[in-house]
Each structure stands twice: as C-alpha cells, then as structure tokens.
Structure 1
Amino acid sequence: MIKRIIYFLFLAVFFTACSTTKYLPPGQKLYTGGDVKVDDKSIPKKDAKALEDELKTYIRPKPNSSLLGMRIKLWLYYKTKSRKGFINKFLSKYGEPPVLASQVDLQKNSDIMQNRLQNISYFQATVKGDTIGKEKTAKALFTASPGPSYTIRNLTFPNATDNNLDTAIKGTMKQTLLKKGDKYNLDVIKNERIRIDTRLKEEGFFYFAPEQLLVKVDSTVGNHQVDMIVRIKPETPEQAREIYTVRNIYVYPNYSLRDTSLKLDQAKPYRWYNIVDPRNTARPYLFANTVLLHPNDVYSRTTHNNSLNRFINLGPYRYVKNRFEDVTPDSPKLDVYYFLTPYKKKSLQLELLGRTTSANYTGSQINLSWKNRNAFKGGELLTVTLFGSTDVQVGGQNSGYNVYQYGIQTSLSWPRLITPWRVSSSNAYIPRTVLQLGYSSVVRQKLYSLNSFTGSFGYQFKTDEHRMHELNIIEATFVKPRNVDSLYRDSINNPKNNNPALKHVIDPQFTLGPSYAYTYDNTTEDYRTNSIYFRGKLSLSNNLYGLITGADTLAGKDKKLFGTTFNQYIKAETEFRFFHKISSSTKLATRIIAGAGMPYGNSTILPYNQQFFIGGPNSLRGFRPRTIGPGTVDPNPQGNTFIADQSGDIKLEANVELRQKLFSIVYGALFADAGNIWNAKPHQAGGTFGPNFLSQMAVDAGFGLRFDATILVLRTDLGFPLMRPYTPVNGGSRSISPSFKNAILNIAIGYPF
C-alpha cells in the first residue's frame, strides 16, 4: 500500500512538472529559485550557514510556489487562462503566472547581498551571481566572499558639559547597544539612535529626533576594527536642544471636526487641568485618572502615551486627538490639548445566535442589550441585558429533556477605584470598579426548574500590558428550585443511580464571600517563539461567618444566614497554556487545568454552581459535555432514565494540539486530551480523589479543521475516545478502539484554548 502511494505521488509530481513547463515561450526557462554559497574558509561553518540562510531571503523574484514539488498555482494559471465559465473564472484567482529565469537580475541581487554583508561588518565583501540551467528550468547561484568582519574597538559619547543635550546623551551611555568587541552592524546603530531618542523624550526633549544623532565610524584604525563616535549633528535646531515643561492642559470632552475654535474663554479650571465643555457632557473629575501630565512637569513621552491610552480606554470616547503647542519662545513650555469625540451615549443591540453541541443539542439564543456609556457623566458604563435560550435534542438519549433559560444581567462599571482611601496609579491602564446584579431561570423539561440570583462588587486593574488583577470584595449567589418533577425525584431515589449529586443540583445554595483572580497573558505578541497564558483564582464562601457561628454539618450544627443554609468552602483554580511556534505556519499549543474546592464546616460538598465539569468541545473532545467522572463512576448505569451532568470538587485536565496552516484561511490540527474530576469527600464509590488518580484519567485523540477568518473562527473537531475512567457495568474494557462509530464531532466557534 505504501509503495502504491509513493508511486502515485511520484507520477503526480512528474506529470504536474511536465504540464507546467510545456507552455513556456520558446527560449524561456522556468525559474526554480536561488541559492547562496559562502566561499570563505575563515568563517566557521555555523556562521557561514547562517549567512547563507539570511542572504537567500534577499533574492528576487521568488519562484512559483509548489507543494510536494507540484506547482499547483502555476498549473491553474495555464488551465484557466483565457477560458470562459464561472469555474475557470473562480479558479483563475488562485493561479499565478510563470516566473522566468530571464526575470532574474543577477547583478542587482548581487549588489543587494553585498550591501547587506557590508552593513553587518564585512566591509570587503563581494558577491557574484550565475545561472544553472536544464532543458526547461534554471536556478540562480550566488557566491559570496565576505572577507574579514570588523569589530568595535572604542566608543565615544559627547562630553557632559553645560549643554543640556550633550549631558543627557552622555547619561544614556551605560545602556548603549554598541558594545566593545561586537561586530559592526548598521541595524544596531539605527536602534541605538532610537534608544537614545526614547530616553531623551523622557527628559523633556520634545522636538528632538533620532535623525539628529550622528554615529561616525572610523575603519582606518587597523586590525579590522572600527572606532565609533556618537555626536549631535551641527545643523540640529535650537528647539530640539531645549528641555520643555508643561504650562496649561485643556480637555475637550465633546469635540467634533466642525469645531474650529479653541474656546479658551469658556475653559473651567479643575485641579490641575481645564475643561472646555459648554454643554456639560462630563463631570470634571472624570479625567483625574487620565490627565497624567501636570503643569511645570518636564515633558515625558511615557506619561503622555499613558494618558492617551487612558483616554481611549475610558469608555465614552470613540476618538482621541492630541496637540502640543509651543507657547513661550523665551522659555520652552508647552500647552497640551486633548480633543475627545464621544460615542453615541445610548445604544441598543440585538443578537441572535444559533448553536449545536457535541451533546446532540441544537439551540438558539437571543440577547437584547442596552448600554449607556456615560450614565452619570462620570464615564460610568451601565449595561442591561435580557437573554433567553433554548437547547433541544431530537432523537438522542436525552430527547425530550430540553433546556430553556431566560434572565436579566445588569452591570455598572466606574472608570476608577471606589475605595475609602485614595488610590493612584500612572500606568497606561484605567482601573475599574464593577457592580453586577443578575437573575436567571433554568428550566430542564421533565426534570426541574431553578431560580438563580447573583451579585458582586469589586475591582479590575492592570499593572502592565500582560498582568490583570480582579478582586471581588463580595460575591453572592442564591439558587433555589422553583419546581421539581416526579421523574427527577424518582431518579434521586433510584438506588441504581448512586449519584448524590442529583439531589445536590436542586438543593438551595447560598454562597457569600470574596474572590481574587490573577491573569498573565503575552500570547498576543505574535513575534514570540514561546508564549504563555496563566490564570489563577481563589474563592472563599462564608469562612469567617461559619467560624464565628461554629457551623459543623457533620456534627449536626447546620447554620443559616438570612434563613437559608449557607455554603462554606475554599476553592482554587489554575489554568496554564504554553504555545511554541515551530515555524511561521506551525504551532504547538498545550494546556493544563488544575482546580480543587474544599467544603468544610457547614458543607460536605461544593455548591453545584461552583463544582467542576469536564468533557465537550473545549475540554475532552472525545467525550460529550459533563459525562465524565467523578473518578471511576459510570455516568450511565443500567436502569437510568437519563444521563445526569457529572460534577466534582477536584479537576485535572491536560490538552496538547499541533496546529498547521494548510491553505488560505484553513488550518488543520491534531490533538490529544486527558483528564477527570473527583469528589473531595466520599459520597460515591470510586468517586473520591486518591493516590491512584492518574490511572483514572479519561483519554482521547483526534483531528480537526479551523476556518480562521480573523473576526470569526469556525472549528470542527473529530475526537476519538481511547480510555474511559470506568469499566462499564454491562461488561467491556476501559480502553476503547478508535473508530468512527465511537467518534464525537464537535462544532464550535473559536479555538479550544
């Protein structure tokens, strides 16, 4: 079989190659690419190989693309060229004309590579090009003779004098990128000028520019070394040599392009800045956290940029325009203007969503959201959302057990920290205080319906672009059954189910306590070879109150708060993701999730809405959602009328996925998942966490496609269960043979992690 495949591929490559060269004009050859050879024995092989790889990237033009030796796009070009019809017109978009050997300018390519070698210390470099041809094809070969590399011997900065600019530049010398003994590199010199300019912008040199720095290079000192002298260009204007401070600051909260006058006569001072807002659209204190520059401050680019970021993230404003005006010729000072164009204050948004799950449910959801972006003229964002959803299964094992949800969610977000004490920060990120209140009703047809009330008050703030903190001073949840059908009560009492969680689902639940979450994320920086995401969260419920009242349910001392038995627990959750970029089109993605909740005092098990679940399109993709665990418990014992959601107090999960771009917006993936959940205390036989937890892992593997259109990612994954954590009561093995009969198709939006 393998021999046949190899033979087929060989024939495909051969015939495709022939079919793309037979159309060439007479006397022309197809260009198949270029190569570079470094001919200098004094250069170590490793360095020579690196030079060859770099110089190869400068060769132009690029040859026709190919896959396994087949020039499919070139073949499409010839087959659809000048042909009519919808299919030919469509396919012609993906074709590309032939790149001919006659289009390669050997001398121009040689000059570019020679110039590059000279820019990276090989001042005596030469490059020569030639072509190597066959009957129908030709390639370019360039031979580079770099010669000796030149290194830095001495580096001189301006002397610290009475000249402010010279002194400031001298003060940046310790952090210089130009190190003695390093090879000369023009790119490093350019970056050094930018580095110095960046530092000067922090010290008030508002009008200075990198181009006003000159780095003189003396290569005549011998022994293949150079001396470098950093100095200011003589023609640098006096304005660029001055240290500027701030005089006045003006904020325009309701600016439009039609405004042509600065209206300074209408400016109202507030603390250290002035508000120009004739219509009183914003309260003056709104900008106390955004205007970070103060009168008489030395201009700082970082402080200025942080202010702009804060204005943008404030919430009510669509655009921020900034202007500096040099106002005092005899004394270097700046007036600062911030022009803010607001969003429409109120908006109404309707969302209609359709979805399908690997649990064979098909559903729809409607969200109606009303927003007020400046509710009380202090930048407050008030959001009220009404929602409703249905999830229906037809012909599956849970057919008839449809799920309906509806409710309301309100949120009020202040762009500042509301605390008894004053808190100030000067980074680029606006801290927020958030109050949330919500109600939802869940109706599981034929089973039960629940009312849920939630509320929280806390803070969200970032210390830098990667780190996010979320501190809720108080989180409260109250869940109470509205109706429980006899079928569900009979299932609870059915000894064959042996699942105390069935009753736990409909028990009244009352949690009250703080929580803290920390997130670190640098995955948005695409240039990184390795990137990580980490999130950790700690939640508490009624810990102090339970301790004061002496709550101990095992000793018969159940305690109540507001007439309801409260939950008492400590819960910790962590998620770690690691991404490794193998190439520009291939990435390895991994994830580990670990969570544990410890009920105590007034509780013997975590409240249902705080428990862990596993399985589904964003978890173990070879198993249906919430059908695994706890431990070795069989989720579908004989005699059970429906499959209940499986939950636990402890969770471990690991995922690995190899992602590969195939073509256009289509990506492929190979994946494997493993994990399970457990109870912290013995409630079910085989469901408690113990030393043999690794042997109780569920395992799956599979493959999938992702259609990444940037704004939307449609994902299809086919997961094959390989190992279940339990032995079926009707016989069989824990291991499962991979087959399409057992496979689970997951259709979802977005990547799983």
Structure 2
Amino acid sequence: MLFSRLHSLFSLFLIALITPVLIACSSDKFLSDGEYLLDKVELRSDRKDVNPSLLMQYVRQKGNSRWFSLFKIPLGTYAMAGKDTTKWINRTLRRMGEEPVRYDTLQARLSCEDLTVAMQNMGYMNASVGLDRKVKGKRLTAIYRLHPGEPYIIDHFNYDIEDSVVAKVLSPHLRTDTERPRRFTVTSLDDERKRITHILNDSGFYRFHKDFMYYTADSTRGRQHVSVTLHLTKYVETSGAGPALHPRYIISHVRFLPGDSTGFHLRKSVLEDNTLIEKGKYFSATDLQRTYNNFSRLGAVRYTSINFREPPRYDSLVIGKSFAYRTSSTHYLDADIQVYNNKPNTISFQPEGTNTAGDLGAAAVLSYQNRNLFRGSEHLSVELRAAFEAIKGLEGYKNSDYEEYSLQASLQFPRFLAPFVSRDFKRRSNAISEVSLGWNLQNRPEFHRRIFSSAWKYHWTNPVHHLTYDFELLDLSYIYMPWISGTFKRDYLDNATTRNAILRYNYQDLFILRTGFGLHYNSSSHAFRARVELAGNLLDGLGNLFDFKKNGQGKRTLFNIAYAQYAKFDFSYTQILHFDDRNALALHGGIGIAFPYGNSTVLPFEKRYFSGGANSVRGWSVRELGPGKFRGVDGRIDFINQTGDMKLDLNAEYRTHLFWKLDGAAFVDAGNIWTLRSYAEQPGGQFRFKDFYKQMAVAYGLGLRLNFDYFILRFDGGMKAVNPAYADRNDHYALWHPNLKRDFTFHFAVGLPF
C-alpha cells in the first residue's frame, strides 16, 4: 500500500514537471509583434585561456531560468496563467512563475561594452566583442563572440613615494622586478595597492587609504609590454589644505566602558588579555580586528564597540617598545572599548519522539548553560537526557522496554590552557580549551550498559585561510556491562554455532583512551576534512613498562579491563561547481580506514564504519549496506555485522533553485564498506583490491529541500541502481529492473548531505 502511494505521488510529480515544460512552448502569446523571447545566451572566445563562463556575469540580459539547467519550469508556470489578471489563479501563477525575457537591443549593446571593459581589466587592452543573433520563430539566441587579443605584460614595476617616512617604513616590503605582477590586470594592480595599505595601516598610519595611490603606465617599449609606476602621494587633510607627511598614530590610552547599567561581568584581566590594542604601540588595523575577534568568541559578550579619539597634539617625549623620540608632530589615539554583556544563564527543555526500527518511544532533554562561570566567559553546559522505548517482537526476555539516562557536562575556556605557554601566545591564540565529562546508562531487555567518558580538547580557527582545527589531547571512555541476559548470552555469545567475534568483543568491559586531530577547510566552492585518531598507544606503553596482566584472550588489561588499540584515518573532499545563480553541481568523495592492532583484533563498535542513509548511498537505509557483498543474516538487516573497517563514498548532486524557499536536487551515489580482516560472520565483506570496484553500490534519486537560510529541511528519495549484495541478476542490476518496493528508500534529514 505504501509503495503504491509513493508510486502514485512520483507519477504526479513527473506530470507536474512535464506539464509546465510543454506549456512553456506557448509563452509566445505574451510577445508583441517585433518582440523575441531571449531563449539562450552563449559566450564564445577565440582564446583558450579566456574562460567565457567567468564573463557571463557581465551580460545584462539572460534567458529565463531553468531547473537543472534544462527545464524552463518557471516560464511554463507563468505561461499557464491567462491574460485576465483579475482572476486569483492567474495572479498566483504569475507570482510563482517567471515573466518571459524579451530580447532588448539596448541591453545587448551595453553588454558588449561591459564585456569589453571586463577583458581590458584582465589585461587584454585591445579586446573587442561581436554579437550574432540566431532567430527561430519568436525565439532568439544571442551569441557574444569575444576577441581578447594579446595580453599586456608588465616589464618594469617602479615606486614613486613622496612621503619620506612612509618610504622608510615600506622599504623592506617593496617588490623587485622579479616579484612584480606579471600580467597588466586591474586585479593585480589593485591587490598591490591593498597590500601596501595593509602594511601602513598596521604601522600606525590610521588615516591612510588606498586612494592616496595611483598608477601610470608607459607602453612605448612595445605593443604589449608596459612599464608601470605606483605613485604614493602625501597626506591632504582637507580640500583646502596643502600636502603634508602622513600622520602616524600611537595609542596613548585604552579605556574599557560598560555597555549597559549592569557594569562589567568580566574580570579586568580577561578584558586586557583579549585586547591587543596597547598603550605605547603604533596603531594596527590587524590588532584592532583581532581584538574584535577575541571578544566575539566570548560567550559572556553580546557585542563590542571600539572607537578611537584623537586628543590635542602636544610636545612630549614619546617612549615606546622600540623607539624613543621628541616631536611636536606626534599623533595620538585614545581607544574606548565598550563591552555589552550577554545573558549569562539559560535553561531549555526539549521533548523528542524516537523511532528505532519501528519501535516507538519518547525522550526529553533538559539543558542548562552558564556563559560566564568564573567571570572569565567560561561556558558551562550541562545536559540531562531521559528516553523510553517499547520494544516489540522480542521473545524470551522478561522485560520488553528500553530505558536510557545520560548526563553530559562540558566546560569551555576561551583561551589556550596549557603549562609553559607565554602570556603573549595565549593572547594572540584564538584557541578554546574544553574539558568534558559524561555518564550514560542504558537498560535493554538483552543487557545493561554503562559508559563513562571524559576528554580534554582544543579548538581553534584561522578565519583568513578558512581553517578550523580540533585537537583531542586525551579522550577516555570506559564501557561497563553490569548485566547480560542469560538468553542473550546463550543465543549469541556462547552458542558455538552462532558465536560472533565482533559481537562478543563489543559486549565486554573495555577501556578506550585515544588522541585525535582534525582539520577542516571550507570556502564557497571547496571543502575538505581530514582526521587522524590513535587509541591505546599510551596504555600499551605503560603496559609494557609495568607488565600489565593479560586476560584469557591474551589481551593486556588495566584494572582487569582490556583496552582498545587502533588507528583511524578519515578524509573527505567536496567541490561545488556553480553554473549560474540557480544551478550548481556538488561533487563529493570520502574515504576512511581504521585498523585494530596490538591489544585489539576487532574495532570497538562505535568506531566501525557503516554505509547507507541520508548522508551516504541513499538507495539504502542506515546500516543496510555492506560490508562488501555481505547480505546480512538470512538476507535480513544485521546492525552488528553490517559494519566495517573501511569506507568509500562517491557522490554527485545537481542542485537547483525551484521557487520561494524550495530547492531541488538530482543525485547519484556510490560506495560501500569493507572489513580489513576476514570474519566468518561477514562472508564476502573483506576488502580485496581486485574485487572492491565490483562491490560498489550505486543509487540515484531526486530530492526536495526547504531552504530557510539558517537551516535546511531535506527530503530525498533514493533508488538502488547496482546492488552488490544481490540474490539474482534482477536484484544485482536494479537500474534495468526497477522494483519500487524493493529498491526505493525515503530519507528525511536536516542540512545538506555534504
């Protein structure tokens, strides 16, 4: 019944998609005589090193938008409306749709001019643009032909600095001919002005800006060869004033002002440690920005305002960290730092509904946060969670309920806490130190489990390079199994015919002491994550030194409890290719590998990989896929055994904006998991280089997103295309033999998959 309804909905979706496409062909009714619908715009360049797609932004008039760069659904929706705008349905269809783009000769001529200027700014000073028009009925294709010509090259780069003080400051930073920009482009020349402005703004020249610089160029040496001179003029305070030396400012006083009547919630030492603007130092724009960044990291601070005042000049002896001189032209700045407090305490309650394999339940989370525990913007977070679930179809057990209680507490310090670290390093570092404790109690009909965890971590960012770092110095987990049902032991752990090494290992008491480091880069078009995690090496070293006892399986123990030892590496990369402001292609690849060694032959369950789900191969549900061609126990899902030591994901997703807050997606996913060792419980699951590509699962599907900017609700429908765990040929190549009941999987998630 469910799959027949899904099939009907899918059919209706296809009809809704195709109908506006067909109706879009009738949009000519909105065109008057002599008007043409701008069907398509093309840019063609006669130089291979000029990418036409980068110049599309300078075309003033483009054709109607297309879903997935193919279907003019918005235009078709508009065309479905009648001409009578007094009718509600016609007004609604016009608002939802997109009015036909009528070709405009004036806009086309201005586009040619803009394209010419754009190429000249790229160094092609003799560039020109031609325009061809192809008309078919009432539709017109505009083809802009780009003729860049030869680029101009800078032979010599010179500086002409009128201000002697500025010249002395810039002397170590001026580029030689070998370091100069090679191409004569507006971008490269403007970048040099920005670079010099940045140096001077960090050297006390508070009022300096790049408009004090201009260029002259001499092209007499050759047709495409230029000699460039950067001129830096003297300071002019007002239009009627004469030129003078650029004023160089020294910080004379730094004052902290409360932003509201409640006064300061932070200690004075905390305010000073987060302020890089110091008395006796030259003004620095970088120190100003870092001060803003430091205060923005403090949870106790709502926002900060920093204002500079120039007091009257006076003759005095100026003593700084690296200078001392007397002058009557010294300039000073007083800095007023106004700090506005944030609400220190918050309490929240959040109910949840749960559904684990059809077993319904409920959960509740009570959270408390204190953003200024010791008046140093320390962030204390305490979370208490309780969950209950009624388990169905479980025979042979006295109880059929699942209960879970957990208490998680973390304390973050907005500074780098470590011994033997200088105060200056702590002030300039934007690291956050975190200590956390957790206790988790799980009571299931089959077993009771207790997990204690504690960690000491560091987090810091490099906004300039879009980098984020995470360093887990020590992370300790203690897994304790106080009770295991006799039925569960008999059927799964002790029975010789069903004994499972992976299962047995994960239902024993265990220590996990690990260290991890993660790196994350994210920009508008690229993102990558890398992480390495090592566990058990410290305990193993101590075990060899102090001769820890071994258990019956020959594993070293601490307090009679075995400890895990493994290494884990993960890497993922995402690239976004933007075709226009409505369409983009997202490509993603991820690989992970973890192997137990030394004191372990099996990875802890929490560290094993799984495949399938909303962020993996979307033709399968979570933990339904793999490892390799393993089909589960008797063809059924096996959450314990459908895990592995290695994972590979490859994804391609075409994203398009539909209308309002709705976005669409079409995707193809591929991937699987494998084990590194051969386990009897997972036949066909071991990774073998000569076979792994044959065991890649492939899925395809469509998605719908509700994009509210600050969060995204995602609905994806995936279909199996190639199933490595097949029962017959039809099951193997599901793409050619689709079966909605067998192959379709629906996913609901928050956020994009990658």
TM tier, smaller: 0.7 to 0.9
Relative distance call for 1:53 and 1:483 in structure 2 (3 A) is closer
Q: Distance in 2 between matches of 1:685 and 1:78?
A: 57
Question: Any idea what SS the aligned residue of 1:46 has?
Answer: coil
Please say if 1:387 is aligned against 2:385.
Answer: yes
Counterparts in 2 of 1:261-272, with a 5 A limit? Answer: none
Counterparts in 2 of 1:521-540, with a 5 A limit? Answer: 521-522=520-521, 524-528=522-526, 531-540=527-536
Unaligned runs of 5+ in 2: 1-14, 238-242, 314-328
1:669 to 667, 670, 675: 667
Q: What are the superposed Cα offsets for residues 319-374 of structure 1, whole Å, 9 maximum, x if unpaired?
A: 121122223534223222322212100001222344556x4455544221110000
Unaligned runs of 5+ in 1: 1-7, 39-43, 260-277
Answer whether contact 1:502 1:644 (CA < 8 A) is retained.
no
Q: Which amino acid aligns with 1:218?
A: D
Answer whether contact 1:356 1:747 (CA < 8 A) is retained.
no
1:157 match: 159
1:271 match: none
Relative distance call for 1:452 and 1:57 in structure 2 (3 A) is closer
1:660 match: 654
1:571 match: 566
Q: Distance in 1 between matches of 2:602 and 2:562?
A: 9
Q: Deviation of residue 385 (structure 1)?
A: 0.5
Please say if 1:223 is aligned against 2:223.
Answer: yes
Relative distance call for 1:295 and 1:586 in structure 2 (3 A) is same
1:348 match: 347
Q: Distance in 1 between matches of 2:44 and 2:287?
A: 50
Q: Deviation of residue 594 (structure 1)?
A: 0.7
Stretch of structure 1 that moved more, 50-59 or 571-580: 50-59
Q: Distance in 1 between matches of 2:382 and 2:112?
A: 65
Please say if 1:326 is aligned against 2:310.
Answer: yes
Please say if 1:550 is aligned against 2:577.
Answer: no
Relative distance call for 1:626 and 1:580 in structure 2 (3 A) is closer
Question: Any idea what SS the aligned residue of 1:453 has?
Answer: strand
Q: Distance in 2 between matches of 1:317 and 1:325?
A: 23
1:255 match: 259
Relative distance call for 1:162 and 1:64 in structure 2 (3 A) is closer
Question: Any idea what SS the aligned residue of 2:675 has?
Answer: strand
1:286 to 254, 270, 290: 270
Q: Deviation of residue 302 (structure 1)?
A: 2.3
Q: Distance in 2 between matches of 1:548 and 1:152?
A: 66
Question: Any idea what SS the aligned residue of 1:656 has?
Answer: strand
Q: Distance in 1 between matches of 2:219 and 2:352?
A: 68
- The percentage of counterpart residues that share the same residue type is 19
Relative distance call for 1:313 and 1:485 in structure 2 (3 A) is farther
Q: Deviation of residue 475 (structure 1)?
A: 1.9
Question: Any idea what SS the aligned residue of 1:241 has?
Answer: coil
Q: Distance in 1 between matches of 2:746 and 2:375?
A: 50
Stretch of structure 1 that moved more, 240-249 or 607-616: 607-616
Relative distance call for 1:131 and 1:415 in structure 2 (3 A) is closer
Answer whether contact 1:315 1:373 (CA < 8 A) is retained.
yes
Q: Distance in 2 between matches of 1:494 and 1:213?
A: 84
Q: Distance in 2 between matches of 1:631 and 1:141?
A: 51
Q: What are the superposed Cα offsets for residues 166-215 of structure 1, whole Å, 9 maximum, x if unpaired?
A: 233454332789947x4432233222211221222222222110111111
Question: Any idea what SS the aligned residue of 2:190 has?
Answer: helix
Counterparts in 2 of 1:434-453, with a 5 A limit? Answer: 434-444=434-444, 446-453=445-452
Relative distance call for 1:241 and 1:491 in structure 2 (3 A) is same
Stretch of structure 1 that moved more, 61-70 or 652-661: 61-70
Relative distance call for 1:155 and 1:324 in structure 2 (3 A) is same
Answer whether contact 1:667 1:708 (CA < 8 A) is retained.
no
Q: What are the superposed Cα offsets for residues 438-481 of structure 1, whole Å, 9 maximum, x if unpaired?
A: 2212233x322222222223433446741413133452424233
Answer whether contact 1:416 1:433 (CA < 8 A) is retained.
yes
Q: Distance in 2 between matches of 1:692 and 1:153?
A: 54
Relative distance call for 1:473 and 1:145 in structure 2 (3 A) is closer
Relative distance call for 1:612 and 1:137 in structure 2 (3 A) is closer
Question: Any idea what SS the aligned residue of 2:63 has?
Answer: coil
Q: Deviation of residue 230 (structure 1)?
A: 0.9
Relative distance call for 1:387 and 1:23 in structure 2 (3 A) is same
Relative distance call for 1:73 and 1:569 in structure 2 (3 A) is closer
Q: Which amino acid aligns with 1:332?
A: H
Q: Distance in 2 between matches of 1:412 and 1:389?
A: 24
Q: Deviation of residue 379 (structure 1)?
A: 1.4
Q: What are the superposed Cα offsets for residues 494-520 of structure 1, whole Å, 9 maximum, x if unpaired?
A: 333222444444433344x3x332222
Stretch of structure 1 that moved more, 402-411 or 541-550: 541-550
1:23 to 26, 30, 41: 30
Answer whether contact 1:700 1:719 (CA < 8 A) is retained.
no
Question: Any idea what SS the aligned residue of 2:175 has?
Answer: helix
Question: Any idea what SS the aligned residue of 1:206 has?
Answer: coil
Q: Deviation of residue 599 (structure 1)?
A: 4.9
1:198 match: 198
Please say if 1:317 is aligned against 2:301.
Answer: yes
2:250 match: 245
Q: Which amino acid aligns with 2:138?
A: K
Q: Distance in 2 between matches of 1:97 and 1:623?
A: 41
2:420 match: 421
1:405 match: 404
Q: What are the superposed Cα offsets for residues 618-673 of structure 1, whole Å, 9 maximum, x if unpaired?
A: 455555545677788774259x9x9562377x610101111101433122211011
2:285 to 295, 298, 301: 301
Q: Distance in 2 between matches of 1:696 and 1:112?
A: 50
Please say if 1:367 is aligned against 2:374.
Answer: no
TM-score, normalised via structure 2 length: 0.79
Q: Deviation of residue 706 (structure 1)?
A: 4.8
TM-score, normalised via structure 1 length: 0.79
1:499 match: 500
Q: Deviation of residue 617 (structure 1)?
A: 4.2
Q: Distance in 2 between matches of 1:172 and 1:283?
A: 40
Q: Distance in 1 between matches of 2:20 and 2:753?
A: 37
Q: Distance in 1 between matches of 2:72 and 2:627?
A: 53
Stretch of structure 1 that moved more, 290-299 or 404-413: 290-299
Q: Deviation of residue 698 (structure 1)?
A: 5.6
Q: Deviation of residue 315 (structure 1)?
A: 2.0
Q: Deviation of residue 567 (structure 1)?
A: 2.2
1:472 match: 473
Q: Distance in 1 between matches of 2:178 and 2:128?
A: 28
Q: What are the superposed Cα offsets for residues 116-138 of structure 1, whole Å, 9 maximum, x if unpaired?
A: 34444454555566766555344
Relative distance call for 1:34 and 1:388 in structure 2 (3 A) is same
1:517 match: 516
Q: Which amino acid aligns with 1:155?
A: F
Relative distance call for 1:230 and 1:591 in structure 2 (3 A) is same
Question: Any idea what SS the aligned residue of 2:166 has?
Answer: helix
Please say if 1:136 is aligned against 2:138.
Answer: yes
Answer whether contact 2:22 2:76 (CA < 8 A) is retained.
no
Q: Distance in 2 between matches of 1:402 and 1:12?
A: 51
Question: Any idea what SS the aligned residue of 1:542 has?
Answer: helix
Q: Which amino acid aligns with 2:666?
A: G
Answer whether contact 1:432 1:459 (CA < 8 A) is retained.
yes
1:645 to 635, 640, 644: 640
Q: Distance in 2 between matches of 1:476 and 1:527?
A: 37
Q: Deviation of residue 314 (structure 1)?
A: 2.1
Q: How many residues align?
A: 695
